[in-house]
Structure 1
Amino acid sequence: MTDRIHGLVAATYTPFDASGRLEVTPIDAMVEYLIASGIRGLYVCGSTGEGMSLSTDERCRVAEAYVQAAAGRVPVFVQVGHNSLTDAKILAAHAESIGADAVSATCPSYFKIASTEGLIECMHEIASAAPGLPFYYYHIPVLTGSTVDIVDFLRRAGQAIPNLAGLKYTDTKLHEFQQCLELENGRYDVVWGCDEMMLGALATGSRGAIGSTYNIAAPLYGRMITAFEAGDMQTARQLQSQSIEMIRVLGQFPFHSAMKEVLRMLGFEFGTCRLPQQSLTSNEVAKLREDLVQLDVLAELIAP
């Protein structure tokens, strides 16, 4: 993959059966739905896909299923971050071997990264295991606990990591995001990762975005991008407001478990999330459905 990311990349979910075992069969239909809804790429085994709750073997199986389902129509990014750099390297090499288009990784999070040098060294280890693929560092400090200056990382990492292509930037600091975008005359592909702030990211210069809610509301975000590019800021703001309200409703519950319930409402059986993420009760599912049906963005998709 040599082109930069443009448009919406779905951070994909991982399907489980009723017993909580991995069940990759629903992935084919989900990928068809996502592509039809305007998705331009797939980001596999990230936070949304519960990568950190899967075994290394399961992560390999999920990556293979998504690469096969995409069949070259959209790029597939495989997230390989792990507290064990040995396992992360195994996952990265596997992603390259199955024909994935890019590798991405969070930093180790149990033993915290304390310096830019340490982050560069860890990401070099992972990226070097898939030297033929673009590498995107997954910056999500709220989950990794990393306090490393991400602009400093980008300034210094290019020499040590030859295949460093950019970042998945999942934070809310638009000024920092802008610095990353503009660094060295736009050297890096910096992809936005906060769905409820997409409009701000577009205004800052974002060309692509990776997110969870694109699985269920890609057309809304697509219309937002179209309105923004046409200079229709009133419509763009209205669409962002709908996104914010949708995410607020989902956020009343364990977020990813709620998203999997929405997938079920849309006809995709992905099970629920693994512990430590909590499942929704039947009453919570009913309340979620009721609240979502009232929103214009999903009223046509989810019947009462």
Structure 2
Amino acid sequence: MSTHKLSGLVAATYTPFHADGSLALSQVGPMVEHLIESGNRGLYVCGSTGEGVSLTTDERCEVAQAYVHAADGRVPVFVQVGHNSIAEAKRLAAHAQEIGADAVSATCPSYFKVNDQAALLETIKAIASAAPSLPFYYYHIPVLTGSSIDIVSFMNAAGDAIPNLFGLKYTDTKLHEFQQCLEIGDGRYDVVWGSDEMMLGALATGAKAAIGSTYNVIAPTYLKLIEAFNAHRIEDAQARQREAIELIRVLGQYPFHSAMKELLRLMGHDFGTCRLPQRGLTSQEAQELQQKLQSVECLANLVANVRRD
């Protein structure tokens, strides 16, 4: 099992669909090339961005395999296997190990809310045990799972119970809690930041790596942010974060992931739209979004191949 901690950007990948809603896996290869060329150092597959919970188990296996094949060992591939059925989550984890993924990650179940630490521990232990040779990252995203478990307490307790627990994908906004997670066991865990619009604060708190949706389109902006922060050019770093927030605010005026897929289409990556219960953009919304994107500074400067059609 790898013990190498992450650094830099990990793109939370999108799942491509045809117009009829079926998987369009031929789009994966060109997208992976774009992600690597733009500076991403890892891929996080079938998470919230990738609509993992909206796919069948078989589809999730197909998507994971497509990304592992396209990456071809050049960057690590993390497969998110969380499911309301623990049996299905275990099946997905075992498949990820079988196809050569580099790590497995999982949310907790979300229909029956997990608000008991012992229950969460047993749940995650069961999922992680299905891929024992891979590092396991717990995916903490309470806004979607509804779990009220104290994550610091959970990570402290889980280390001895889950042999391959290696890290945490922290998608929340509590920088003080994130810092506590980083400090558990003198830095025992690979704690990865998950809120794009707060990267600068996370860097100041100690983040070394981040997983996010907008790294699909403006990774160079974030790389300049990181470079500026490391060089103590704080005003420059603030400007780069401001540019990212500007894009996120524009996209947030619409169903976010469908808006991101429209931006990907403009960049030449036709990933279709999102599955229900997320809705797609209307034709009017798509036109409005295209117009607004023309004034987003980080796109004008760094994503020069966006088509204005």
Aligned residues: 304
Corresponding letter in the other structure for 2:93? A
In the alignment, what sits opposite 1:5?
Answer: 6
CA-to-aligned-CA distance 1:182-214 (integer Å, 9 cap, x gap): 111000000000000000000000000000000
Corresponding letter in the other structure for 2:138? Y
Task: Please tell me whether the aligned partners of residues 12 and 215 of structure 1 are also in contact (alpha carbons under 8 angstroms).
Answer: yes
In the alignment, what sits opposite 1:172?
Answer: 173
In the alignment, what sits opposite 1:34?
Answer: 35
1:266 Cα offset (Å): 0.2
Corresponding letter in the other structure for 1:83? N
In the alignment, what sits opposite 1:227?
Answer: 228
CA-to-aligned-CA distance 1:223-260 (integer Å, 9 cap, x gap): 00000000000000000011111100000000000000
Is 230-239 or 286-295 further displaced after alignment? 286-295
In the alignment, what sits opposite 1:272?
Answer: 273
- Map residues 135-154 of structure 1 onto 2, 5 A cutoff: 135-154=136-155
* Cα distance in 1, alignment partners of residues 297 and 156 from structure 2: 43
- Map residues 1-304 of structure 1 onto 2, 5 A cutoff: 1-299=2-300, 300-304=304-308
Root-mean-square deviation (CA, aligned residues, Å) is: 0.6
Corresponding letter in the other structure for 1:137? Y
* Cα distance in 2, alignment partners of residues 86 and 19 from structure 1: 29
CA-to-aligned-CA distance 1:9-51 (integer Å, 9 cap, x gap): 0000000001010111100000000000000000000000000
CA-to-aligned-CA distance 1:170-191 (integer Å, 9 cap, x gap): 0000000000001110000000
Unpaired runs of at least 5, structure 2? none
Task: Please tell me whether the aligned partners of residues 293 and 303 of structure 1 are also in contact (alpha carbons under 8 angstroms).
Answer: no
Corresponding letter in the other structure for 2:102? D
Task: Please tell me whether the aligned partners of residues 106 and 140 of structure 1 are also in contact (alpha carbons under 8 angstroms).
Answer: yes
* Cα distance in 2, alignment partners of residues 4 and 292 from structure 1: 35
* Cα distance in 2, alignment partners of residues 141 and 98 from structure 1: 29
Corresponding letter in the other structure for 2:147? S
Corresponding letter in the other structure for 1:148? I
Scaled by the length of structure 2, the TM-score of the pair is 0.98
* Cα distance in 2, alignment partners of residues 7 and 286 from structure 1: 33
Task: Please tell me whether the aligned partners of residues 83 and 107 of structure 2 are also in contact (alpha carbons under 8 angstroms).
Answer: yes
1:76 Cα offset (Å): 0.1
1:303 Cα offset (Å): 3.8
1:145 Cα offset (Å): 0.1
* Cα distance in 2, alignment partners of residues 114 and 257 from structure 1: 31
1:114 Cα offset (Å): 1.8
What SS does structure 1 have at the residue aligned with 2:6? coil
1:268 Cα offset (Å): 0.4
Scaled by the length of structure 1, the TM-score of the pair is 0.99
* Cα distance in 2, alignment partners of residues 144 and 208 from structure 1: 23
Corresponding letter in the other structure for 1:77? F
1:301 Cα offset (Å): 3.6
Task: Please tell me whether the aligned partners of residues 104 and 131 of structure 2 are also in contact (alpha carbons under 8 angstroms).
Answer: yes
What SS does structure 1 have at the residue aligned with 2:160? helix
Runs of 4+ in 1 over 3 A off after TM superposition: none
What SS does structure 2 have at the residue aligned with 1:200? helix
* Cα distance in 2, alignment partners of residues 290 and 43 from structure 1: 30
* Cα distance in 1, alignment partners of residues 268 and 176 from structure 2: 40
* Cα distance in 2, alignment partners of residues 271 and 20 from structure 1: 8
* Cα distance in 2, alignment partners of residues 19 and 207 from structure 1: 40
CA-to-aligned-CA distance 1:79-103 (integer Å, 9 cap, x gap): 0000000000000000000000000
